[in-house]
Structure 1
Amino acid sequence: MTATTAPAHGATDDDGPVLPAHEVRARSLALLGSLLRPVARRAWATALVVVGAQLALVAGPALVAAGIDRGLPALRAGDAGPLLLVAGVYAAAALAAGVLTAATVRLAARVSQAVLLDLRGRVFRHTQRLSLEFHERYTSGRIISRQTSDLEALRELLDGGVTTLAASGLAMVFTATSLVLLDWRSGLVLLVAVVPGLVLTRWFQRRSQAQYRRSRTAAARVIVRFVETMTGVRAVQAFRREREVAGVYDGLAEEYRAANAEAIRVNGVFDTGLVLIGNVTLAAVLLVGGLRVLDGGLEVGVLVAAVLYARRFFAPLAQVGMFYNAFQSATAALEKLSALLAEEPTVPDPVRPVRVVRPAGDVRFDGVEFGYGAGPSVLPHLDLHVPAGQTLALVGETGAGKSTVAKLLARFYDPRAGAVRLDGVDLRDVDATDLRRAVVMVTQEAYLFSGSVRANIALGRPDASDAEVEAAARAVGVHDLVMSLPDGYATGVDTRGVRLSAGQRQLVSFARAFLADPAVLVLDEATSSLDVPGEQLVQDGLRRLLVGRTAVVIAHRLSTVMHADRVLVVADGRVAEDGSPEELVAAGGRFAALHAQWQDSLRTP
């Protein structure tokens, strides 16, 4: 994943198609505007506080000048009032500056946290709403990056970056204005010195932009390599590839180190240049003002104030330059987040949903044609009727289209042509809630979430009672297993359920499906990764689960298929054979050959 700002003529967004730069900016600004609208009052209040804080700060040197040129002479004449007044006003201004600066930090934090809370919720909800097609092409690492590093980049900008930029800009304007009003000649010297400062800042912006892109690219490569290695650590260790993988990672880490080192060098040149320009400017103001003091053309207090203003002027310029890095990072993050939120589900909710409250489970594929994305057709033309209560098994070679049938039935995808119907209603018109209750899929990977066994069984019905959860577990034969765990149904399982064996996790997923009580159950290779003891346990639970409901079973193991009412042999997306297991064995076709191979494997010692 490479995070860069939009190119001049367009943006290649890894979250979507290539878009012109102005469209990317418009989309990002629209997102930012929608986030800021609810907190607009607090944002304006923050802006007013920033202005107040900078006015209080910029008053200091002018009050020093008044104290030296007005208060001290009055004190020598025996009148301490003017000096005490100036001192009191100075103390009040300093106190106000401190209070307002602290208020700025708090108000900015409230605004930024409100915005980030809104955005984080939007990203999570929208990502869940997107279709399976999106999640199959959009890696989990990129989604994690949106919720972590991209939101963190926006947090850094909103928490302090925007207020720092505003405060720095106002400080420079107020400082220059105050000095010009106090002594226009000293102000002219300061304004002349702004030119090399701006040139240096522009140089820094261009160089830092290039370094930022290089650093972000290098960081992304390191993260991707790390995630891939840790995800596939079993394969790495199984093939003893630790040294080679570490060598590749070390090379990527060295690129990242070199990019950061160059970025630090650029920052060093910028900081050093600003210090040099600031010191030369200070010397020029002091020299010109000092000569005028000697000639009597300038008061000493004004000279002191001019020096103080000159010292303060270039510090905000450095902050503006440093803000550019945070701005680039936040801009890139906002572009990616807006692209993610602009994604539309390829399986949209129906405009006029049809309620199917008590589905019978009658399934039809009417002239279904389907292909993934813009690819070739996986199912050229499929007509299929599965009566309510029938168990249908799909067998065939890998890539024949079996899992595609399951995904269409669960409405993870919509067909290009034709329709998939439940009780005569096109799935595209079925109310989404009713569809999720009516059709449940159990896959090869029995995914368990961190939490208790009970919570995992009750995933489809969180409001189920303990008795109902236990009844579901008993129905598929997993109750005794659960009770053997340390805390029974309250036993926690680690992420992905790694404290349980594959067969145990599959039984828990069967209990989950049983409790959900769907009219149509889709089993996609649910027993393919089990050993023989585990398979037997799961097969017993599977037979209990299938009673009284329509089932579409995809399996390579014929031990699962032989219990089906009907078998379809699928080849190249078409139905090659259709009949009961016994009929197809007797017919001597493809299924008979598979059955013979299976019988031979059982006889092999």
Structure 2
Amino acid sequence: MTPTTVSGTSGEDRSDYTRDESRAIRRRSLRLLGSLISPVRGQLILAGIVLVVSTALRVIGPALIAFGIDSALPAVLDEMDWMPTIGVVGLYLLTAVSGAALIGWYVVVAARLTQAIMLDLRKRIFLHTQRLSLEFHESYTSGRIISRQTSDLDTIRELLDGGLNELVSGVMFGLFTLVALLLLDWQSGVILAVMGIPLFLLMRWFYLRSQRVYRESRVVSASVIVKFVESMTGIRAVKAFRKEPRNDEEFGGLAEHYRDVNMRSIRLFGTFEPGLMAIATVSLALIVLWGGIRVADGAIAVGVLTAAVLYVRNFFSPLQEVAFFLNSYQSATAALEKVSGVLDEEPTVPDPDEPVDLWAARGHVEFRDVTFGYADGPTILPHFSLDIPAGQTIALVGTTGAGKSTLAKLVSRFYDPSVGAVTLDGVDLRRLHPKDLRRAIVMVTQEAYLFSGTVADNIALGKPDATLEEIKDAARAVGAHAFIEALPDGYATDVNKRGGRVSAGQRQLISFARAFLADPAVLILDEATASLDIPSERQIQQALQTLLADRTAIIIAHRLSTVAIADRVLVMEHGRIIEDDEPRALIEGSGKFAQLHAAWRESLV
């Protein structure tokens, strides 16, 4: 048998931990494991009882053989009495069949237990990662998230399916065998117990070495997965900039490093297995030697020595499987650490403990002396105040990094301000009920993400119970109805993965229809017309006016043509508003917006 190696797994960003950090990680993993086991405690107890009984039945075999050789066989030879032999053979067969049946039952119970735990864990990861704030997803790479839900969970499943069974049954079988040997022949039992000292040292050495190797393996494996996912996700950029050779070199280096780590684990087994075989051989030789001397002296019978030899062989036979379990255990422990790390993350934008209901929002948005910066980065909005009356359309313009998108993210409550408050109709967004917040505020971004499914399903995202006629009305309002009807199956057309069946501009129109159907009190358009060409943009100007009517709107756009429909223009620079007025008034002035507008007009000419 060859050792298995870790494959397709992921790890932390570093492999070195302080002792306190390692203890904290272990405690976190044990808490997670305890919470997973708690609901299936009854099945776990049943599995334990079945395993104990089946192991006891399996251990009885060599003792029955000893009785048969020393007592039943002489009865046949001396008195032609076959009853003891028949009884021993029958009892041996009964214990063997019963033990096998119980092992089969245990496998079924353990499999149910594993599947229940994995179902719970898989759902927890998905639900929790959805609940985490945008800040987590912007800093945690998609490859690592995918790895948690796939390879890490598969590694844990493999441990629970096979490795854990091997460990528990192997350890229990070894203990029961040692006890049985001590009861049958205590001197042979002592020899085996003494040989357990070098066995313990060997197992300890292997465990410590493999722990370091497998932790490194998780780290390197994560890098392989992240590199692959990023390259495939950004394949357009790879093709556009002819990055294939560089990607090949980088991925090849990572793959070679991963191979080297796995080779180190194989070399560990190459040392461990011969060591285990040597200890088993020496133990067996000592027991046969000392037992043979005592048989010659008449101190013990031949059957007892035979049983002692069988017990020693049985004691060492599962240890190799236990060692292979250590392989799986290291991988699964590292995987459980990573999974528990994700589940231990807390949303930076938590739901309120006592939410305030706002059934009918009017759309009055206000920034009250807000200060905000991303994580440990610089301050983006310093002491920022802004009042947006209900129903007003404002346009935010300014250079890249001025804070426009940050302002939109705060209104959408993707982030919370470090200082101050953002309010909707006088209610701090941090106190607003999440359902009311999502119903009242909708953002349309440049990405215009479409999910797999029909066009109608994607438009109805903001209102799942909408009728087909309502969906069509929303599409008509934003000028998307005509091209949707021209699709092969109309509104029932599958847009394919990420909307690959429609153009970027059509995806944007579908996202507009989605926002119109959701009917929010506050609508944010973050570079939402960037994917449209000039004719398409002009075509939807009227649609935008329909979309923005009777609601508060915040438009972020570099194209100043979109700004013309705004009631008010805010020019931002370094997180501050430097100009605030109607579009016409700013154009006629001599400020920053007038310069931007003049440059834009010249670019059109």
What's the TM-score once normalised by structure 2's chain length? 0.94
- The answer to whether 1:209 aligns with 2:219 is no
Residue pairs, 1:416-495, within 5 angstroms = 416-495=418-497
Counterpart AA for 1:238: A
Displacement of 1:8 after TM fit?
A: 5.0
Q: 1:102–1:536: structure 2 CA closer, same or farther, 3 Å change rule?
A: farther
1:38 counterpart residue number: 39
Per-residue CA deviation, residues 495-534 of structure 1 (Å, 9 max, x unaligned), is 2111111100001111111110101100001112333344
**Distance between the aligned counterparts of 1:490 and 1:92, measured in 2?**
64
**Distance between the aligned counterparts of 2:251 and 2:15, measured in 1?**
26
Does the residue aligned with 2:318 lie in a helix, a strand or coil? helix
- The answer to whether 1:138 aligns with 2:140 is yes
Counterpart AA for 2:583: P
Per-residue CA deviation, residues 257-284 of structure 1 (Å, 9 max, x unaligned), is 1221221121122112212222232233
2:354 counterpart residue number: 352
Per-residue CA deviation, residues 22-41 of structure 1 (Å, 9 max, x unaligned), is 33333222222222111111
Counterpart AA for 1:410: S
> Unpaired runs of 5+ in structure 1?
12-20
Residue pairs, 1:101-116, within 5 angstroms = 101-116=103-118
- The answer to whether 1:52 aligns with 2:33 is no
**Distance between the aligned counterparts of 1:534 and 1:325, measured in 2?**
59
Q: Which deviates the most, 99-108 or 375-384?
A: 375-384
Counterpart AA for 2:420: G
1:307 counterpart residue number: 309
Counterpart AA for 1:467: E
2:411 counterpart residue number: 409
Per-residue CA deviation, residues 464-505 of structure 1 (Å, 9 max, x unaligned), is 111111111111111121121112111112221111111000
* 8 Å CA contact retained: 1:151, 1:333: yes
Does the residue aligned with 1:420 lie in a helix, a strand or coil? strand
Q: Which deviates the most, 441-450 or 65-74?
A: 65-74
Q: Which deviates the most, 178-187 or 57-66?
A: 178-187
- The answer to whether 1:122 aligns with 2:124 is yes
For 1:170, which of 147, 169, 172 is the aligned residue? 172
* 8 Å CA contact retained: 1:161, 1:326: yes
* 8 Å CA contact retained: 1:472, 1:511: yes
Displacement of 1:557 after TM fit?
A: 0.4
Q: 1:537–1:324: structure 2 CA closer, same or farther, 3 Å change rule?
A: farther
**Distance between the aligned counterparts of 2:585 and 2:263, measured in 1?**
73
**Distance between the aligned counterparts of 1:63 and 1:401, measured in 2?**
82
**Distance between the aligned counterparts of 1:25 and 1:462, measured in 2?**
43
Counterpart AA for 2:573: A
Counterpart AA for 2:427: V
Counterpart AA for 1:510: F
Per-residue CA deviation, residues 277-315 of structure 1 (Å, 9 max, x unaligned), is 222322332233233333333222212211111111112
Per-residue CA deviation, residues 350-406 of structure 1 (Å, 9 max, x unaligned), is 233222111111222222222222333211122222222221110000010111111
Residue pairs, 1:282-293, within 5 angstroms = 282-293=284-295
**Distance between the aligned counterparts of 2:119 and 2:411, measured in 1?**
36
1:29 counterpart residue number: 30
**Distance between the aligned counterparts of 2:138 and 2:373, measured in 1?**
14
Paired-residue identity, %: 57
For 2:196, which of 194, 197, 203 is the aligned residue? 194
Per-residue CA deviation, residues 219-267 of structure 1 (Å, 9 max, x unaligned), is 2222222222222222222222322221222122112112212211211
Counterpart AA for 2:278: L
For 1:9, which of 13, 19, 23 is the aligned residue? 19
Q: 1:327–1:36: structure 2 CA closer, same or farther, 3 Å change rule?
A: same
1:380 counterpart residue number: 382
Counterpart AA for 1:47: G
Counterpart AA for 2:498: R
* 8 Å CA contact retained: 1:503, 1:538: no
**Distance between the aligned counterparts of 1:168 and 1:343, measured in 2?**
36
For 1:528, which of 527, 530, 543 is the aligned residue? 530
* 8 Å CA contact retained: 1:5, 1:328: no
* 8 Å CA contact retained: 1:108, 1:160: no
* 8 Å CA contact retained: 1:105, 1:160: no
Q: Which deviates the most, 392-401 or 456-465?
A: 456-465
**Distance between the aligned counterparts of 2:63 and 2:134, measured in 1?**
65
2:64 counterpart residue number: 63
Per-residue CA deviation, residues 431-471 of structure 1 (Å, 9 max, x unaligned), is 11111101000001000111111111111111111111111
Counterpart AA for 2:24: E
* 8 Å CA contact retained: 1:5, 1:332: no
1:86 counterpart residue number: 88
* 8 Å CA contact retained: 1:507, 1:541: no
**Distance between the aligned counterparts of 2:487 and 2:148, measured in 1?**
38
What's the TM-score once normalised by structure 1's chain length? 0.94
Per-residue CA deviation, residues 527-556 of structure 1 (Å, 9 max, x unaligned), is 123333443444453233112211100000
Aligned length: 594
Counterpart AA for 2:76: L
Counterpart AA for 1:33: G
Runs of 4 or more consecutive aligned structure 1 residues displaced over 6 Å after TM superposition: none
RMSD, aligned CA: 1.9
Q: Which deviates the most, 467-476 or 230-239?
A: 230-239
**Distance between the aligned counterparts of 1:254 and 1:450, measured in 2?**
36
Q: Which deviates the most, 252-261 or 213-222?
A: 213-222
Counterpart AA for 1:408: L
**Distance between the aligned counterparts of 2:15 and 2:47, measured in 1?**
28
* 8 Å CA contact retained: 1:443, 1:524: yes
**Distance between the aligned counterparts of 1:403 and 1:43, measured in 2?**
52
Displacement of 1:6 after TM fit?
A: 7.7
* 8 Å CA contact retained: 1:566, 1:581: yes
1:15 counterpart residue number: none
* 8 Å CA contact retained: 2:178, 2:189: yes
2:322 counterpart residue number: 320
Q: 1:343–1:44: structure 2 CA closer, same or farther, 3 Å change rule?
A: same
- The answer to whether 1:505 aligns with 2:515 is no
**Distance between the aligned counterparts of 2:558 and 2:177, measured in 1?**
78
**Distance between the aligned counterparts of 2:62 and 2:536, measured in 1?**
82
1:577 counterpart residue number: 579
1:17 counterpart residue number: none
1:14 counterpart residue number: none
* 8 Å CA contact retained: 2:215, 2:330: no
Q: Which deviates the most, 52-61 or 188-197?
A: 188-197
**Distance between the aligned counterparts of 2:16 and 2:68, measured in 1?**
53
Counterpart AA for 2:417: P
* 8 Å CA contact retained: 2:448, 2:511: yes
**Distance between the aligned counterparts of 1:506 and 1:538, measured in 2?**
11
Counterpart AA for 1:515: L
Does the residue aligned with 1:567 lie in a helix, a strand or coil? strand
**Distance between the aligned counterparts of 1:348 and 1:192, measured in 2?**
58
Q: 1:254–1:417: structure 2 CA closer, same or farther, 3 Å change rule?
A: closer
Q: 1:300–1:8: structure 2 CA closer, same or farther, 3 Å change rule?
A: farther
* 8 Å CA contact retained: 1:378, 1:572: yes
